[in-house]
Structures are given as structure tokens and as C-alpha cells.
Structure 1
Amino acid sequence: MRASPAWHARIDVEGAVEGAGFLVTDDTVLTCAHVVGRWPRAEVVFPGARELGPVAAEVVARGVWAGGDTDPGDLAVLRLDRPVGIAPAVFAPLDDPYATPPPKLIAYGFSQGYEEEGVQTELRATSHLLIRDEWAQLEYWRGYGQQADRGFSGAAVMVETSGQVAGMVVSQDAVTRNCRMIPARVLARHWAPLADRVPTPGYRREDTRRLRELIERARVTPGTPGALLQKVSGTREFVLPVVEPDTLWAAVWYLLTETTPRPDWLPLADLAVHLISYVDDETLGDELRAWARSHRSTHDRAPAPERLSRETMWSVRESSVHELSATTWTGPASAEGTAAATDTAGTGVGGTAGTGTGLGGTGDTGTGPRSAAGTGTGAGGTADTGTDPGGTAGTSTGPGGTAGTAGTSTGPGSAAGTGTGPGGTADTGTDPGGTTGISTGPGGTAEGGPAVTALGSVGLPPPPAP
């Protein structure tokens, strides 16, 4: 057993208990906008540190909440009149509350009868999908127990095992026995300084803070944030937000929380460069360009050599494919034109030849799950001398492939020439593992298969002949 964190807070307005809150810095508390209403000041009480007594606070920021039960941005920021010497809340990794099996979540509120010491309720996330890109739905851990009723608004939703904060309670429905949480990723979208405390893997906090300072100086017309995301997305594996961002910070924060930087794709650097054409301030433009250059320098690595040894090429694993990508990335079922190859005949669920792009595949030559090099086919197989489970073409051997010669052999893995089997065929086959020539099937085609990763520009050599 351990005590509840001291950063849990109660919010009083004009002597009445109005809701809950939680400490995010040594002098800053978050709560709901509807808890403080239009009042400019409130008092904050920390039940876990009663010796502090009530601490006066000023409402220094509010979200865009317009006063309705379903209006977004129901967030208020209170600045304490003095630091309280309590360790603030720590935010959980953004996906933690939506794990499988779902973790138990705890909220600490101040319902009627528990105004002094507070009371807890047990919750879990219904889904990782947000309602209107604003709320996560929570349901009660069991069919009985304390509900998140009046007095819980503004309470932190804490992952029980880690003690870290996943979001903030904003409303509840006593009939359906569920409530809503504004997740941490949405809280920081409404109040940018919170980004310094919410985890964004792959992005350095100093980079994020500096970019936030720059975009606060930018003056752009409505529609610009959405246009910038469109430009950044291009043909990449990137899903635009359900609700178009109405501020530059919302667009930046979306990239921070929904993308991971890679040497071949740095979306924030792209956004900063595109933003230059929308601002009139030359000094700001120069600073944005310098930021983009600095951000790239922290992620860029030495380019892959023009040619790798054949032994190295055929030992590449799926986890390395992303690192070897030298040109475009458009994600599953994407490529130039119709998600297909345009040069040689690459095959397989994950691969293409030529300019095909996506997970696990290659362009011209390469390896990966169900990819091909030259005319080889099969799950992870190769051409000519490959020996992987999916089968090969030529004289390869393996669990599902052929042995001896290419031409009329058959088997579950693949075949070459006119052979057929679940692994795929050569020339005119149509089986699941993929094909070469003009064949078709779930694994991909030489003309229009569902490709997934491009290594076309790497220019890797074919495997050695047997």
C-alpha cells in the first residue's frame, strides 16, 4: 500500500468545492474550465499536503470551451501564488491507457460527503479512438462502486501501476455509467506549454520548445495549418487529423504525437520550411530555416553506400528496411501510380520492384517479408540462390521451395517457370505468395501489386548465380 500522490488537488471557488485538479509544475495546476467558470481566481487545496492549507491561485489561461457540455477545450490553467514544494504529476506514455489488456485507471475526486479527503473511482479506457478528436471514453472497472460524479471534474486520470497521468476527467453519464477524459495529447494541444511535460518519443524537448516559440510569432491566415499538414503528408504514410487544425500549434502538436522522426522523413523540419513561404517576417523565416537545419542534423545519418555487398543485402531483416530507404515512403498499398512496381518484377505481400514503396519491400533488388529481388518470389525469399521459407526461383532450396532446377517444379512455397503453388508462381502464376512477370495475387504484381517499401535508389546488386 502507498499513499496517493500529493499532487492531487481540490479546487474551491468562493468558498465552495467545485471540482478537482492536479499539479503539473511547482506552481501550476490544471483543471476544467467549467470548474472555475468565469471567476478570475480560486483556491487550491492539496489533501496529501494538508499543512500547506488553501493556496490562492489566478486563472491564467483557458481553453476554447464555449460553455456547452459538448464544447471542446474545457481546460483552465491556475497559477499558484507561491510554489508548493510538491513533486508535480508525471505524464504517461501516450498509448499506455489503451494497452491490451486494459490497465486500471484511477481518478481522485471530491464528491458530496468526501469534500475534505476525496474519494477514488476505478476506470478503464473503452477504446483508443477519440470522440470528435477530443475525448476518450472511459467506463467503470466494475459494475458497482464510486462514480466520477460532481467533484471529479478536473481530476487526473492516473494509470494505477505507474502512477502517471493519462488525462483529465471532464464529464460523466450516470445512466450509461461512463465518463469522458481529455487525454494528455489533447490537453497539450489546447495549452502548448504542457508539451514540455507530455512524452513525444523521438523529439527532443528543446527542439519542441524552440519551434513552439517560433510559431507563436507567425501570423498566418485561416486554413494555413491544414494546408501545411497537406504539404508535409505528401505521399508519406500519414493520416491527416479528423478535425482540421485551426492553429499552427495544433498542426505541430499533431505531428509531434502522431509521427516518429526517421532519417528519411522529418515532418517537423518539412513543416518549418513550408511555413517560411506563409510568413512575411524575413527574420522569422531565417530562424525557421535554421531550426529545420538543426533538427535535421540531430536525426540525419550518413547515407547508405551506393552498393552493398551481396552477403549484406541478403541478410537484411525487416527491421532494417526502413533505415535503408533512400527515397520516398508512402506506406502500405502505395507507390507511384497505383501501388505497383514499374521496373523489374518484384513480388510479395510486402514488396515491389522499381519504385514501389512500403513496409518490408524493395525496389529493383532487396529483401523483406514476401519481397523479391530480380524475379525471385516468396516470403522472405530471394532470386537465384535464396533459401528462405517462402521459396525461391532458380536452384534454391527451403521448406516450401524447389530443389534442383527452375522451370516446372512445384510446392507450397513457390516455383519458377511454370510451376504453381501457394507461395507464388513465375510468369503467369496467380497464387498468394506473389508472382513475377504479369501474374497477379495478394502478394503483389509486376504491374500493380499492393507494394509497401522502396529501396529503388539504393541500387543494390542481384544475388550471386548458383
Structure 2
Amino acid sequence: MATNNYFQAFKGAIARIYHANGNVVGAGFLVSDRHLLTCAHVVTAALAILPQNAQDMPVGSVELDFPLIAPGQKLKSKVVFWLPVNPSQTQEDIAGLELESTPPVTIEPVRLLAAEDYWEHNCRIFGFPQGHDLGIWATGILRDKRANDWLQIDALAAQNRAVEKGFSGAPIWDESLQGVVGMAVAAEKRREDVTAAFMIPTSILRSAWSDLGQWMDRYSLSLRNFSDNLPSFRQVKLKALNGRYSVLCAQYEATYNQLNYTLSQADIVSIREQIKELEKEIINVEQEINNLSK
């Protein structure tokens, strides 16, 4: 994978998972040439399996597509890894899928990363809450672990789109680390001013599914802090580029979300052109960041 395309690969690798009746039930993401991660409860929803915490590995076919790069091109997959919903366990609600055919050639696995400290890292996530089958972007702030090692994500509902039901199984993009640091698994709304959600961090996913570690080593780069070893003038430039990168990603998110509302065909065409231009700018900034970091 080219080092300047981490965010582009992240977007392309996001899967939209369907029920047999065509309803969208959640998300997943590509972690190898033919394997995806999602939540076990997304799979049981897709296959209409009850109870939600069914212990036996499902044998049905799970339909999905990659909406940001090949919308409507549905593929079939089978479950090859299964940790059912089990709140008494740290490793739970994780499913691995294997595609029964090759995905579109332009799709690459996400860049998976793990770190010791995520506190106050900004993150973004793409999911499919009710009424948004085209998908919608949300933002959040990473906090720290709970007793079950899941990480908390906070978002001020008054300012940002909140992570909610329909985002389960989606990859969490960390803007500071420029990679995927976990999978969205649950959301709760118990406070009026703050919406909390939770993710299973990459370290838990890797520990649970041994094959994932091999794919991480193959497709991902080790996390390093480049900026500490740069001359001061390059550190200043790198900081400015990272700021520009965050602004562009936020603009991309806001522009894409406009597609979820009723628009004329001319408006849709204009928005898609804006999205393409933003993608080009994001790629250029990523290239500059990586050139400085070499």
C-alpha cells in the first residue's frame, strides 16, 4: 500500500452489511485481501439469528458491499471467526468474515495501529444509522479503557454527529495516528449533553483473532513518532500540515453528509465533484506529511 493513501484505503475498505431483505444492519471493514472484521451482533442481525448472543458460529451467507468505492456491487461472505456477545468476557462480540469472491481491485485493507495512550485523540467513523443507508460520518474524542478494556468515545451531541446504533462494526480512524485503532461496538445515551460510544481496540482484536496479527504485520506499518527526530523547522511545517489535514478531513465529512438529504440531481453532481476535489487535496497533504517523515 502506498504510504500516502492511508485515509483513502480506510474509506474504501468500509463495508455495508445487509439483511436478506435488503435492510442495512451495520458495518465492517477489510483487514486482508478477502477478510473483514465486524461485530458478532451485526452478523446475527444480518442472518436474523436469535438470540443475539448465539454461541454457535453461523453458517449462512452474509451480503455486503463497499459503499464509498463500489456501491451496490454486493458480495457474499461466510463467517470464519466467531466470538459471540458475552459481557462477562473481554474478548466478545467479534466476527471475522471471508469473502466468497474477490473484492473490487481498488480496495485495500485498512492500516491497523495500536498505541498505549489514546486520550483526547480526535477520531472519525462512517456508519449506517436508521434513515442513512448511504452512510454518514461522525466524529468523536477517544478517552480511555473501561474495566472490559473497551475504549470510550465521547462526542458533544450539540456540535457533532454522534456515534449511535448503526455504526457497529465500523473502523475507528484516529486522526493523530492516521490509522485504524479499533472497531465500534456499542453506543449509549444516558446523559443529555454527551453521547458515549465504545470501541474494541486493535490490541484486543489482534489478541482474539490470531490471523489478524499476521495481516497487521503484512499490511500495516509500526507506529513511530517521526516528528521528535525532525529539525525544528520541519516540525513546524509538519504541525501545519497535520492541521490542514484535519481541516480537509472535516470538510470531506461535512460535504459527504450532505448526500443524505433530499437534493436535486444537479446538487448531487456538484457535491460529488466537491468530494473528488477534497480527496485530491487530502492525498496531496498526506504525501507532503510522509515526505517530511522519511
**1:187 counterpart residue number:** 205
Q: Tell me how far 1:76 sits from its aligned partner.
A: 0.5
**1:42 counterpart residue number:** 62
Q: Tell me how far 1:123 sits from its aligned partner.
A: 1.1
CA distance in 2, matches of 1:51, 1:133: 35
Structure-to-structure mapping, 1:396-407, within 5 angstroms: none
Structure-to-structure mapping, 1:230-245, within 5 angstroms: none
User: Which amino acid letter does the alignment assign opposite residue 12 of structure 2?
Assistant: A
**1:411 counterpart residue number:** none
**1:157 counterpart residue number:** 172
User: Which amino acid letter does the alignment assign opposite residue 6 of structure 1?
Assistant: G
Is 1:26 the counterpart of 2:41 in the alignment? no
Q: Tell me how far 1:28 sits from its aligned partner.
A: 0.8
Relative to total residues, which structure has the larger strand share, 1 or 2?
A: 2
CA offset digits 1:164-215 (Å, max 9, x no partner): 100011001122310111000001121111112446xxxxx8xxxxxxxxxx
User: Which amino acid letter does the alignment assign opposite residue 105 of structure 1?
Assistant: C
Q: Tell me how far 1:150 sits from its aligned partner.
A: 1.6
**2:17 counterpart residue number:** 11
Q: Structure 1 residues 48, 179: closer, same or farther in 2, change over 3 A?
A: same
Q: Secondary structure at the match of 1:54?
A: strand
CA distance in 1, matches of 2:114, 2:66: 25
Structure-to-structure mapping, 1:106-121, within 5 angstroms: 106-116=124-134, 118-121=135-138
For the 8 Å contact 1:108–1:155, the answer to whether it is kept is yes
CA offset digits 1:281-339 (Å, max 9, x no partner): xxxxxxxxxxxxxxxxxxxxxxxxxxxxxxxxxxxxxxxxxxxxxxxxxxxxxxxxxxx
CA offset digits 1:249-306 (Å, max 9, x no partner): xxxxxxxxxxxxxxxxxxxxxxxxxxxxxxxxxxxxxxxxxxxxxxxxxxxxxxxxxx
Structure-to-structure mapping, 1:62-461, within 5 angstroms: 62-66=82-86, 72-84=91-103, 85=105, 86-95=107-116, 97-98=118-119, 102-116=120-134, 118-127=135-144, 130-140=145-155, 143-176=158-191, 177-198=195-216
CA distance in 1, matches of 2:72, 2:101: 11
Q: What is the alpha-carbon root mean square deviation over aligned residues?
A: 2.5
For the 8 Å contact 2:127–2:168, the answer to whether it is kept is yes
CA distance in 2, matches of 1:69, 1:152: 23
Q: Structure 1 residues 161, 131: closer, same or farther in 2, change over 3 A?
A: closer
User: Which amino acid letter does the alignment assign opposite residue 130 of structure 2?
Assistant: Q
CA distance in 1, matches of 2:200, 2:114: 15
CA offset digits 1:391-444 (Å, max 9, x no partner): xxxxxxxxxxxxxxxxxxxxxxxxxxxxxxxxxxxxxxxxxxxxxxxxxxxxxx
CA distance in 1, matches of 2:70, 2:88: 33
For the 8 Å contact 2:40–2:84, the answer to whether it is kept is no
Identity, % of aligned positions: 29
User: Which amino acid letter does the alignment assign opposite residue 83 of structure 2?
Assistant: G
Q: Tell me how far 1:160 sits from its aligned partner.
A: 2.4
> Which consecutive residues of structure 1, in runs of 5 or more, have no partner in the other structure?
200-204, 206-466
> Which consecutive residues of structure 2, in runs of 5 or more, have no partner in the other structure?
1-6, 50-57, 219-294
User: Which amino acid letter does the alignment assign opposite residue 122 of structure 1?
Assistant: T
Q: Based on CA coordinates, which of the two structures has the bigger radius of gyration?
A: 1
CA distance in 2, matches of 1:115, 1:191: 29
For the 8 Å contact 1:185–1:198, the answer to whether it is kept is no
CA offset digits 1:64-115 (Å, max 9, x no partner): 434x6987411011111112131110112423633xxx22111110112211
Q: Tell me how far 1:143 sits from its aligned partner.
A: 4.2
The TM-score normalised by the length of structure 2 is 0.59
Q: Tell me how far 1:35 sits from its aligned partner.
A: 0.5
CA offset digits 1:432-460 (Å, max 9, x no partner): xxxxxxxxxxxxxxxxxxxxxxxxxxxxx
**2:232 counterpart residue number:** none
CA offset digits 1:36-79 (Å, max 9, x no partner): 1145221111112226701111111111434x698741101111
Q: Structure 1 residues 138, 82: closer, same or farther in 2, change over 3 A?
A: same
CA distance in 2, matches of 1:111, 1:132: 27
For the 8 Å contact 2:91–2:208, the answer to whether it is kept is no
Q: How many residues align?
A: 192
For the 8 Å contact 2:90–2:149, the answer to whether it is kept is no
Q: Tell me how far 1:132 sits from its aligned partner.
A: 2.4
